[in-house]
């Protein structure tokens, strides 16, 4: 059989160097079998994918069998070497494939008309694979296995660089599979030492309390919690009290992205934060089951559509410290396809309490991010709890928070102004019926437009204009205002390679001047997008 091979010494990219170092470390490990779970996790991080399946070759039975455990109830997965599956097809022909949609019959037919859809994991863990790389693993130019790189997390296809890296990594994986075959033959790898759920829970609790910061908890500790619950995905949310939202951070390759959800029934995690109650849902697409918790509760399926995964079972717990909400922990999809158990609920409650305490301890040492109303809380004018309640009321009734603070909590306008001055580092200009704005400041401006966008020019001095605005930190609004008050137009001539300013004219004449030049050059004055060539011939004297 033909077999594609690439030398691992060709790996030159940063990710390639990382892979080479990681594989060398695994190969030199004294306990190679125990290093396989670590290898799989690092490969998943390398390609930012949902799963990796590492198959070894059983020549006698003409089958592939998994070397990494998929789920506890099915420690070994076997696939026939045939054209009925992508893994079997790659083993048969010895050529790597990179598929953007493993359920596209048109794309599969390009390789073989009888290929089945999806990866080998789809039927096992209720997954729907979209992007998929399947590669032969060689050792000394002979096939020893096949690797599946399953479903890039952001939903995009794997790139050519990632495909090239996978082919470059394959020979090093071949050495690992060859050594495993020498040690264990065609038999299964010895199971990891049995660790009780209580011991694993204790280890996770220690790791949570020893984390350096909240980001480390949100990003780095997820895998160990997933293993405890045998779950496909986990999200740990922290609370942003000032925006009445919960947020989490997700690592995608080298980037860290932030997810934000309102504390409301528009999502399951948002409802958990709002009601401060736990949920254990068997099927998130069952609307009747969701209504048992809240009539307006909805499952946000946008992530399923983007990632290609199918969410089913969901368990979530509020993270409470002394009755105060610190965050939400949410687990998605029990690997066996069933609902999370009562034992899972108890363990999740313990994890949530531990996380809440850790978040509380972390918050004591982190300077909170200043808000528009920090002055009010720092000076004892209102409490954090009153601010949180007012924020929730303003969001619910779609009112300005400032109006709620002045009406319900009787905050004086001058104190509110000082708070805004402190936040924006700009002078506050309160309403006064004695102030009259010069009419020339509003020349050429639509008053309805100004009222709708909450800004108005109050003073003009030389070439500078002072603006009264509701949000000075909004870059889009500031940019739009600058375009309304453009600078004068400079007319420059180039002579002997030197460009000098000939004249400066008001901006209102800019378009008229350009149109006149186009007419003199016999160009289309209506065309403003495509470049045009023209020239003007003038005679002197």
Determine the Cα–Cα distance for residues 171 and 144; give it in Å rounded to an integer: 10
The residues, ordered by sequence, that sit 6+ positions from 67 with a Cβ below 8 Å of its Cβ are 36, 54, 55, 56, 145, 177, 180, 189
Determine the Cα–Cα distance for residues 150 and 134; give it in Å rounded to an integer: 8
pLDDT of residue 5: 36
Range of weakest confidence among 4-8, 32-36, 80-84, 323-327? 4-8
Residue 176 in this model has a pLDDT that exceeds 80: yes
Give buried/exposed letters for 224-246 (b at 16+ CB in 10 A, else e): ebbebbbbbbbbbbbbebbebbb
**Which tens digits make up the pLDDT trace of 200-255?**
777 777 777 776 666 666 666 777 787 788 888 888 898 887 778 898 876 554 55
Domains of the chain listed by start with CATH number: 8-184 (3.30.450.40), 197-365 (3.30.450.40), 429-475 (no CATH), 486-541 (3.30.450.90)
Q: Which residues share a beta bridge with 236?
A: 329
CB 101 within 8 A of CB 155: no
pLDDT of residue 218: 63
Residue 63 in this model has a pLDDT that exceeds 50: yes
What is the mean predicted confidence (pLDDT) over 5-32? 57
What is the mean predicted confidence (pLDDT) over 65-78? 74
Question: SS3 of 369, please?
Answer: coil
pLDDT range class, residue 154, cuts 50, 70, 90 = confident
Average pLDDT over the chain reads: 81
Residue 55 in this model has a pLDDT that exceeds 90: yes
Determine the Cα–Cα distance for residues 456 and 440; give it in Å rounded to an integer: 12
What is the mean predicted confidence (pLDDT) over 179-187? 81
pLDDT range class, residue 317, cuts 50, 70, 90 = very high
CB 173 within 8 A of CB 152: no
What is the mean predicted confidence (pLDDT) over 298-323? 83
Determine the Cα–Cα distance for residues 184 and 13; give it in Å rounded to an integer: 34
Helix (H) or strand (E) holding 18: helix 14-27
Q: Which residue has the higher pLDDT, 104 or 206?
A: 104
pLDDT range class, residue 310, cuts 50, 70, 90 = confident
Residue 416 in this model has a pLDDT that exceeds 80: yes
**Which tens digits make up the pLDDT trace of 381-406?**
888 888 888 888 888 888 888 888 88
pLDDT of residue 9: 40
Q: Which residue has the higher pLDDT, 9 or 503?
A: 503
Q: Which residue has the higher pLDDT, 274 or 538?
A: 274
What is the mean predicted confidence (pLDDT) over 82-99? 91
């Amino acid at each position: 059989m033909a077999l594609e091979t690439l030398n691992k010494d060709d790996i030159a990219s940063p990710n390639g160097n990382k892979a080479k170092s990681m594989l060398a470390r695994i190969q030199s490990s004294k306990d190679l079998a125990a290093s396989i779970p670590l290898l799989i996790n690092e490969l998943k991080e390398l390609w930012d994918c949902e799963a990796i399946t590492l198959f070894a070759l059983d020549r006698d039975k003409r089958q592939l069998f998994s070397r990494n455990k998929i789920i506890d109830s099915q420690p070994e997965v076997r696939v026939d070497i045939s054209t009925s599956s992508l893994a079997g097809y790659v083993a048969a022909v010895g050529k790597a494939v990179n598929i953007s949609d493993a359920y596209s019959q048109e794309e599969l037919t390009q390789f073989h008309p009888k290929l089945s859809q999806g990866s080998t994991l789809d039927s096992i863990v209720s997954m729907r694979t979209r992007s998929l790389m399947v590669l032969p693993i060689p050792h000394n130019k002979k096939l020893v296995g096949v690797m599946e790189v399953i479903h890039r997390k952001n939903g995009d296809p794997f790139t050519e660089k990632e495909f090239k890296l996978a082919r470059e990594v394959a020979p090093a994986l071949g050495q690992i599979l060859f050594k495993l075959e020498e040690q264990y033959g065609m038999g299964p790898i010895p199971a990891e030492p049995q660790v009780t759920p209580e011991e694993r829970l204790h280890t996770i609790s220690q790791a949570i309390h020893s984390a350096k910061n909240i980001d480390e908890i949100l990003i780095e500790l997820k895998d160990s919690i997933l293993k405890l619950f045998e779950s496909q995905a986990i999200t740990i949310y922290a609370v942003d009290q000032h925006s009445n939202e919960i947020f989490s951070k997700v690592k995608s390759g080298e980037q860290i992205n932030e997810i934000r959800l309102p504390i409301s029934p528009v999502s399951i995690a948002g409802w958990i934060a709002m009601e401060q109650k736990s949920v254990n849902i068997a099927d998130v697409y069952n609307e009747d089951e969701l209504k048992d918790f809240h009539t307006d509760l909805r499952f946000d399926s946008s992530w399923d559509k983007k990632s290609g995964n199918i969410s089913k079972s969901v368990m979530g717990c509020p993270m409470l410290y002394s009755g105060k909400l610190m965050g939400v922990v949410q687990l998605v999809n029990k690997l066996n396809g069933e609902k999370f158990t009562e034992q899972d609920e108890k363990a999740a409650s313990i994890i949530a309490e531990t996380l809440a305490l850790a978040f509380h301890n972390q918050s004591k040492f982190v300077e909170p991010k200043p808000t528009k109303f920090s002055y009010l809380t720092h000076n004892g004018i209102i409490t954090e709890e009153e601010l949180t309640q007012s924020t929730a009321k303003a969001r619910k009734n779609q009112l300005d928070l400032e109006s709620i603070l002045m009406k319900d909590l009787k905050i004086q306008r001058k104190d509110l102004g000082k708070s805004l001055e402190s936040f924006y580092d700009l002078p506050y200009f309160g309403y006064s019926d004695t102030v009259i704005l010069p009419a020339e400041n509003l020349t050429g401006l639509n008053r309805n437009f100004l009222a709708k966008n909450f800004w108005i020019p109050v003073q003009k001095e030389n070439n500078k204009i002072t603006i009264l605005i509701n949000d000075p930190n909004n870059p889009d609004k500031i940019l739009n205002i600058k375009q309304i008050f453009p600078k004068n137009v400079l007319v420059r001539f180039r002579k002997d390679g030197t460009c000098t300013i000939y004249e400066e004219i008001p901006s209102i004449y800019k378009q008229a001047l350009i149109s006149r030049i186009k007419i003199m050059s016999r160009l289309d004055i209506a065309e403003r997008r495509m470049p045009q060539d023209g020239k003007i011939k003038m005679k002197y004297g």
